[in-house]
Structure 1
Amino acid sequence: MKTPVATLVSTALLLAAGHACAADPARDRQSILAMRGDYTVDFAFDETVLLQPGYERQAAMRSGGDETVIVVEDTPGRIVLQHILVDAKSGHVTKHWRQDWIYEAPTRFEFSADQTWNVRTIPADATRGAWTQCVYEVSDAPRYCGTGRWDYTNGVATWTSDLSWRPLPRREYTKRSDYNALSVVNRHTLTPNGWTHEQFNTKVLRKPDGTQVELAREFGFNDYIKTTEVDFKPARDYWQATAGYWAKVRAHWDGFLSRAPGVRLKTKVDGMAMIIPLFTQAGDVQEGKPVADAAIAKVFADWVEPAPVESPAAATKVR
């Protein structure tokens, strides 16, 4: 698939800066682990550059929430962080997104078509000294991956990804049908008050013949601000009770995402056909009720299948 030229150029410059820094995986690990903790989060998305005649800038999106980030796995080459939302008034808990960080990962999944993620090889020069971040849906279904190096220029810890594809976010797919993929560069930065996640998005219509139409660029800014004003005990209690269950769910996904060709979902775009039964099962586990491994397996049997096998040229590397 073709890559948006302007985004590719900016990404190349960012990666060139990353290559200038010697790898320091121990320091990188501490930067990733610094994202754990309790936060009040502000989410902001603004369309910026309009790229097609007649296209009208969409309304800015603003939202927020209270979220804790829990370390699920911590090994020298792999860190898993689980985000959990808490409603400050009711104490209601919602398992949110997950981010996995892998040092010098040899492969990653990439959103390649509707409801399809193919596992592709990362070129050696791109993954050397780099961390691949993969992001997952609330059901632990795949969303996107990016590969990049941590940079500490002027004492500021920043990780910048390369260019990658991701599906439409929840804030858009219920409202939009004029594009079907985002071309994205992600940047994480540690700050005195927490950390930030910047997204440099291009909204793209990928056509069956391989051509692409870029509609607009968008800047996303997620600000994670440390807080001691919210009681996150319900989130920690939830995770303590259900961590074993969700480990089994991740193992099922890993069966598809740890090797080519990857995975295709048979659900609608909202994914609710899997989210509802998995969250229901997790709720049962939290209440002390048994959930058979076969019940988890059935959800996957009903809604998940291997991705179509790609041509050798397409499967050899991340594009």
Structure 2
Amino acid sequence: MKKTIYILILSILYTISYAQEKEKDIASIKKMCGCYEVKFNFTETFQTVSDSTHNPSPTKKDYGLEWVELVEETPNKLVLQHLLLVNNQMIIKHWRQDWLYENTDFHQFYKDKTWKYVALQPKEVKGQWTQKVYQVDDSPRYEGSASWIHKDGKDYWMNTTDAPLPRREHTIRKDYNVLERRNIHEITDYGWLHEQDNRKLLRDDKGNDIEIAQEKGLDLYVKVDNSKCLAAQNWWKANQKLWKNVREKWQTIFNKKQDIQLENTVDNKPLFSHLFDLEPTTTKEETDKIIDSFVK
């Protein structure tokens, strides 16, 4: 009897501990929302293969004003939409990040607009959060699972996963086709940072990789008053229904739990161009049709 009570007490304490850690995780994720002055910094650190066909990328430094909106929240899912402000007025729908608690379904990037479906066991993701990152058109980009760490004055999440070429390089580099990203998202006293240690890989049809180069990235998100991003907030109010329809369509594709392969262009236009040209009042039937045309 005493042993049973002891086991029951341990089980209750274990459950409470997990619940408390989960609340800390959610608080950290929500701290990424708001208005930020962002500095983007990337530099190629090592050229593993050095010849005339592999020219290193120039160091990239850029900055911008970004609004991060919490557009969905349930106990096990948070959806954060990034909106980039150009000249404080022009709004560009930027990347999106979903955070899913103890998620077991993954679409891992392989290469050439192809994502492989992978299912993990619940015990493999116990207490973890999956960060799913999407393109500006809400098509898949990359995702990975790990635990948030809240220790020694640090508050961060770290994962390594494969991704397509970044937007800054996909038009200028043809010598690699996979970016292995080690992503660190850390909450700081000034806002948050996104640190990257990346490997540029050339992957063949059998899945064999050749490392071409390595890269360091550091994006600094400095919190500013939300009023500086008012134009982005108003833009989202006017356009959120359109993009909710797009998200829901993509979710039906992900729910099939199978590999995804996408066309590069349809009618000589990439997907984001088709969607960015739409009016906010465009019907779901029309956005569904556009997305379906890109899925092979």
Bucket of the pairwise TM-score, normalised by the shorter protein = 0.7 to 0.9
Map 1:223-238 to 2 at 5 A. 223-228=220-225, 231-238=228-235
What corresponds to 1:156 in structure 2? 154
| 8 A Cα contact 2:35 2:228, kept in partner | no
Give the superposition deviation at 1:123.
Answer: 4.1
Give the superposition deviation at 1:231.
Answer: 2.7
What corresponds to 2:70 in structure 1? 71
The alignment partner of 1:168 has SS state of coil
Give the superposition deviation at 1:298.
Answer: 1.7
The alignment partner of 2:206 has SS state of coil
The alignment partner of 2:179 has SS state of strand
For structure 1, the residue ranges without an aligned partner over 5 or more in a row are 1-21, 306-319
Give the superposition deviation at 1:217.
Answer: 1.1
| 8 A Cα contact 2:34 2:226, kept in partner | no
Give the superposition deviation at 1:119.
Answer: 2.0
Deviations 1:35-73 (A, max 9, x none): 001001001111112222445543211111100100011
| 8 A Cα contact 2:69 2:80, kept in partner | yes
What corresponds to 1:260 in structure 2? 257
When residues 230 and 87 of structure 1 are mapped into structure 2, their CA distance, relative to the original with a 3 A threshold, is farther
**Which of these residues, 119, 129, 132, is aligned with residue 130 of structure 2?**
132
Matched, 1:273 2:270: yes
Q: In structure 1, how many angstroms separate the alpha carbons of the residues matched to 2:239 and 2:249?
A: 16
Give the superposition deviation at 1:302.
Answer: 1.8
Map 1:233-312 to 2 at 5 A. 233-268=230-265, 272-281=269-278, 284-285=279-280, 290-305=281-296
Give the superposition deviation at 1:153.
Answer: 1.5
Q: In structure 1, how many angstroms separate the alpha carbons of the residues matched to 2:128 and 2:191?
A: 22
Matched to 2:91, the amino acid is V
Give the superposition deviation at 1:210.
Answer: 2.7
What corresponds to 1:198 in structure 2? 195
Matched, 1:219 2:210: no
Give the superposition deviation at 1:229.
Answer: 8.6
Q: In structure 2, how many angstroms separate the alpha carbons of the residues matched to 1:153 and 1:57?
A: 37
Max Rg structure = 2
Question: What TM-score results when the alignment is normalised by the length of structure 2?
Answer: 0.87
The sequence identity of aligned pairs, in percent, is: 35
Question: What TM-score results when the alignment is normalised by the length of structure 1?
Answer: 0.81
The alignment partner of 1:63 has SS state of strand
Give the superposition deviation at 1:279.
Answer: 1.5
Q: In structure 2, how many angstroms separate the alpha carbons of the residues matched to 1:225 and 1:272?
A: 35
Q: In structure 2, how many angstroms separate the alpha carbons of the residues matched to 1:234 and 1:304?
A: 33
When residues 229 and 236 of structure 1 are mapped into structure 2, their CA distance, relative to the original with a 3 A threshold, is closer
The alignment partner of 2:272 has SS state of helix
Matched, 1:109 2:100: no
Q: In structure 2, how many angstroms separate the alpha carbons of the residues matched to 1:177 and 1:123?
A: 36
Matched to 1:137, the amino acid is Q
Q: In structure 1, how many angstroms separate the alpha carbons of the residues matched to 2:277 and 2:86?
A: 19
What corresponds to 1:147 in structure 2? 145
Q: In structure 1, how many angstroms separate the alpha carbons of the residues matched to 2:79 and 2:99?
A: 6
The count of aligned residue pairs is 275
Give the superposition deviation at 1:272.
Answer: 4.6
Q: In structure 1, how many angstroms separate the alpha carbons of the residues matched to 2:98 and 2:269?
A: 23
Greater displacement, 104-113 / 45-54: 45-54
When residues 32 and 176 of structure 1 are mapped into structure 2, their CA distance, relative to the original with a 3 A threshold, is same
What corresponds to 1:122 in structure 2? 120
Q: In structure 1, how many angstroms separate the alpha carbons of the residues matched to 2:145 and 2:128?
A: 7
Matched to 1:299, the amino acid is I
Q: In structure 1, how many angstroms separate the alpha carbons of the residues matched to 2:220 and 2:30?
A: 17
**Which of these residues, 36, 41, 50, is aligned with residue 44 of structure 1?**
41
For structure 2, the residue ranges without an aligned partner over 5 or more in a row are 1-16
The alignment partner of 1:245 has SS state of helix
Greater displacement, 272-281 / 206-215: 272-281
Matched, 1:31 2:22: no
What corresponds to 2:177 in structure 1? 180
Give the superposition deviation at 1:238.
Answer: 1.1
Matched to 1:266, the amino acid is E
| 8 A Cα contact 2:246 2:284, kept in partner | no
Deviations 1:50-104 (A, max 9, x none): 2224455432111111001000111111000000011234x11111000000000
